[in-house]
Structure 1
Amino acid sequence: MDEQKLIGLLWKGHSVDCVRPLLRSKLEDAKALGSYLIYELCEQARPLIDDIVPLLYEDDPQLRGDAINCLLGCATQFDDLALGKIISLLDDPDPFIHRQVMEFIRRCDTAHLYVGVKAAAKMNPSTVFEEICTIAIRSSDGCRNFVEQDISALVQHRNPVSNRFAVGIALRPRLVLDDSFLELLTGCDEEECRSAIQFARKAPFPRNVLRVASMAEIQSKH
């Protein structure tokens, strides 16, 4: 049976438990198929979360990336291990994963982000993740309202992990898009960071989020 037929059956109500043996398989092709299916299922893959989280530790970047995208839809704020590992992947060796995590930071719920940042700091003591956590805790309402000083501190940090986190934070959708946050990112030289910023400039809000106005537009009217 091909992938699309499997997806069709799952969307029609067939139990997602049939995907679990694929995720646990030692055969690369089987695991890759399972990874693709959970990527398509997204929030409906919640019953499989104990089998999805181990994919974050796989050697294949595609498996890690599929898991990140799936967990964006199905993880909850109580999944601190999963959320912490995702944030920790800002230090992954693969640029593809950096892009996936920056997009996760951009789109995830504030509560999930806060839990992930704190968990990543615990998983990586005495590293840049602890510094990121300190800034997050200092920000108003725990990751909800990063100010320009926070973004600037993250961007100016010599560790690229901090720079990647800054990109994800600055690109998070707000009711009012503050273009000054994007200007703070001009010092990010890493290709994946520049790519994420360029993409966000073209599509400043994820789908189904109403664009109200940019800060510059508001100021020009007063």
Structure 2
Amino acid sequence: MQTQAGEDLIERILAHPADGDLVGLAANDLLSELYAGFPVENLARLLHSGDDRILPTATWLLSELVDLAAPLIDEVPALLSSPIRTVRYDAIAVVLENADERHGPIIAQVMNLSRDPDSAVRWKVLEFLTEASVEQLEAGAACLPSGQVKELAEWLILQDDEEPDLNGIVIRLEAGDPVTRLFAAAAAASLADKENTNLLEHAAMVEEEEIRSFAQERLSKLRENVADR
């Protein structure tokens, strides 16, 4: 019975948080149960276990569920504020797949993580800014306080126009501070296609490793697509 199997797996994770191999196997099996219909709301037990060893597993499960995680979107603000970097990282993916115009404050929280001290989290923010819809970006920007991140978010939204600020993207990549370069790299990645990778090539040469690696990864995918044609 699906419900019983899912409950047993949750109990196993809760009972053995220090056993990484056991938790990993149980989490993979639990993910299968969740895809098969075990209610996602049951993950709240893991999210609220109070054990920091369990929280990364619970957040990873949410991120792997893609849009099936929607019933637990209200859990995400606390995850984005977690001191555990893998929790913040995976929580960003949950926002990308599940947040809409009703979730502006949560999207704004992701945008503010462009200043996160961890480069992996900043990389994930860059992915979010590149992949998010205009509606998501607009909802987040509207909930940001006045300041640099709000200004950059509003500028990024304007790049989804018939005449994007190509020169402005280059200037921000070359002369901006790290947060400015991150938003500029998102614009460059959003505009890149198989025929025009110049802006993304600029992003691949900036100082910040997370921006360079993200841009290089995007360039590789574009080039693979061209080679496959």
Q: CA offsets per residue over residues 16-45 of structure 1, 9 Å max, x none?
A: 111012112211122222112101112100
Consecutive aligned runs of 4 or more in structure 1 exceeding 4 Å deviation: 137-141, 173-177
Structure 2 gaps, min length 5: 1-8, 10-25
Q: Which of the two has higher C-alpha Rg?
A: 2
Residues 1:148 and 2:166 are matched in the alignment: yes
**Which position in structure 1 is the counterpart of 2:131?**
107
Distance 1:173 1:11, change over 3 A: farther
Give the 3-state SS of the residue equivalent to 1:13 in structure 2: coil
Whole-Å separation in 1 of the counterparts to 2:157 and 2:186? 17
Q: 1:116 to 1:156 in 2, by over 3 A?
A: farther
| TM-score normalised by length of structure 1 | 0.80
Equivalent residue for 2:214?
196
Root-mean-square deviation over aligned CA pairs: 2.6
Once residues 205 and 141 of structure 2 are traced to their aligned partners in structure 1, the CA distance between those partners, rounded to angstroms, is 23
CA contact under 8 A between 2:134 and 2:160: conserved in structure 1?
no
Give the 3 Å change call, closer, same or farther, for CA 117–7 of structure 1 in structure 2: same
Aligned residue identity for 1:49: I
Counterpart-to-counterpart distance in 1, 2:191 and 2:155: 19
Give aligned pairs, total. 203
Q: Hey, what's the Cα distance between the residues in 2 that align with 1:145 and 1:84? A: 26
- Aligned-pair identity (%): 25
Q: Give the structure 2 partner of residue 33 of structure 1.
A: 57
The structure in which a higher percent of residues are helix is 2
* Within-5 A mapping of 1:114-133: 114-120=138-144, 122=145, 125-126=146-147, 128-133=148-153
Gaps of 5+ in 1: 206-210, 213-222
